[in-house]
Amino acid sequence: NRQWLLASRPVGAPTISDFNFVATDIPTPKEGEVLLRTVYLSLDPYMRGRMSDAKSYAEPVAINDVMVGGAVCVVEKSHHSDYSEGEWVVAFAGWQDYSVSDGTNLLKLGKNPTMPSYALGVLGMPGLTAYMGLLDIGQPQAGETVVVGAATGAVGSLVGQIAKLQGCKVVGIAGGAEKCEFAVQTLGFDACLDHTRDDLAAQLAQVCDAGINVYFENVGGKVFDAVLPLLNSKARIPLCGLISQYNATQLPDGPDRLSLLMGNLLIKRIKMQGFIVFDDYGHRYQEFSQAMQAWLAEGKIHYREDRVEGFEQTAAAFIGLLTGQNFGKLVVRVGPD
C-alpha cells in the first residue's frame, strides 16, 4: 500500500522533501467496513492549507499522516451491507492505494461508470463550487460582464461556461497565451487575458468597457488589483479562493490598500461573500448534478482534465498546481480500472 505522508510543514512553496513516499501493509476491513482501492486521486489547491497548521475551516494533516484528498475508488472487499465488491465510489480516501471506510460520506458511482474521474471535477467538488458560487452568490444576469481568474482550471473553466449559458459576457484571466487561446476558442469565452503580462490592468479595462458586474475570485493578488477599479455599482464577488497567496509567508509589499477596498465596497454597494463549498452547498449537490449532467449530455459544457500517469508523480504535480503547471482539472491515475 503506497502512501504519501506529510513529512514537514512548508514555509512558502512546498517542496518534494515536505512529503514522504512510503509503502505499508494493505489494511484489513472489519465488520461494517469496506476496503477501497484508489483508481483516481484529485489534487486541489485546498490541500496546501491542510499542510499548514494555521487556523482554518478544517483541521491540518498531522506530520507523518497520509495527505488528505478526494478519490474515485473501487470496493475491493465489503463487510458492509450497502456496498458490494466491484462497485465504484467517491471517497475522501487520501493519497494512498488502499483505505478503509465505514461507509460514511461515500458517493456511489455504480458498477461500470462511463467517466469515473469526472466525479472529481465537472460532476464533483469543483463543479459544485463553480455552479453554486456563480449562480447563488454571483447571481449573473443576461448581458452582464462576468470576470473569472484561473480561467482554464477546474473551477474557472466551468464558471465561465455557466456564465455564458446565462447570456453573460465572459472575460477570463489565465497564465499564458496557450491557456488564453483555449478559453476563447474551446470554452467560448468572449476574451481571456494573460496575467503574466505587465499590461493586465489596461487590457482588462479595455475589454470590460461596460465595467464588471460579477467577479468570481479564485486568485487574489495582482489580478484582484486589476479588477477592483472596474467593478460596477451592485457588483457581486463570490470569494472562492486566493491561490496567488497560498504560498505567501507575509503580507505583500506596498501601501496598505484595505481602505481602498472598503471604500469601494461601500460606495459601490458591492457584495463580496466567501463560501466553503460542502459546508455551504453540500445539501444542493443533487440539483447541481442534474443540471450539469444535462449540460454535458447536450454538449454545452467542455471539460478538460490534466491527468498525471503514475502515483509517484503526485507531490510534483501538486507543487505544480500552485504555480499554474496544470492545464485543466488535475487528477492522478493511481491504479488500473
- Which parts of this chain interact with ligand NDP (CB under 6 A)? 44-46, 126, 129, 150, 152-156, 174-175, 179, 195, 218-219, 221, 223, 240-241, 243-244, 275-277, 321-324, 326, 329
Nearer residue to ligand NDP within complex by CB, 21 or 275: 275
Contact, 148 vs 216, CB < 8 A?
A: yes
User: Minimum distance from CB of 149 to ligand NDP (Å)?
Assistant: 6
User: Minimum distance from CB of 43 to ligand NDP (Å)?
Assistant: 8
Nearer residue to ligand NDP within complex by CB, 78 or 152: 152
User: Minimum distance from CB of 179 to ligand NDP (Å)?
Assistant: 5
3-class SS of residue 313: helix
Nearer residue to ligand NDP within complex by CB, 34 or 163: 163
Sheet holding 231-239, edge to edge: 191-194, 169-174, 145-149, 212-216, 231-239, 271-274
> What is the DSSP code string of 104-130?
TT-EEEESS-SSGGGGGTTTSHHHHHH
| C-alpha cell recorded at residue 76 | 475491493
User: Minimum distance from CB of 148 to ligand NDP (Å)?
Assistant: 10
User: Minimum distance from CB of 78 to ligand NDP (Å)?
Assistant: 31
Burial classification of residue 40, based on how many CB atoms lie within 10 Å of its CB (0-12 exposed, 13-18 middle, 19 or more buried)? buried
* E strand intervals along 122-162: 145-149
User: Minimum distance from CB of 80 to ligand NDP (Å)?
Assistant: 29
Q: Which residues contact residue 89 at a Cβ distance below 8 angstroms, ignoring those fewer than 6 apart?
A: 36, 72, 73, 74, 75, 83, 106, 107, 108, 109
Q: Within 10 Å of residue 35's Cβ, how many Cβ atoms?
A: 20
Nearer residue to ligand NDP within complex by CB, 66 or 125: 125
What does R_g of the chain's alpha carbons equal in angstroms? 20
Nearer residue to ligand NDP within complex by CB, 45 or 94: 45
Nearer residue to ligand NDP within complex by CB, 73 or 331: 331
Report the C-alpha gap between 237 and 214 in whole angstroms.
6
Report the C-alpha gap between 175 and 113 in whole angstroms.
33
User: Minimum distance from CB of 37 to ligand NDP (Å)?
Assistant: 24
User: Minimum distance from CB of 273 to ligand NDP (Å)?
Assistant: 11
Nearer residue to ligand NDP within complex by CB, 164 or 179: 179
Report the C-alpha gap between 131 and 137 in whole angstroms.
10
Q: Within 10 Å of residue 113's Cβ, how many Cβ atoms?
A: 16
Nearer residue to ligand NDP within complex by CB, 78 or 129: 129
Contact, 33 vs 74, CB < 8 A?
A: no
The residue assigned the cell 463560501 is 275
Report the C-alpha gap between 51 and 231 in whole angstroms.
34
Contact, 66 vs 58, CB < 8 A?
A: no
User: Minimum distance from CB of 4 to ligand NDP (Å)?
Assistant: 18
Nearer residue to ligand NDP within complex by CB, 14 or 29: 14
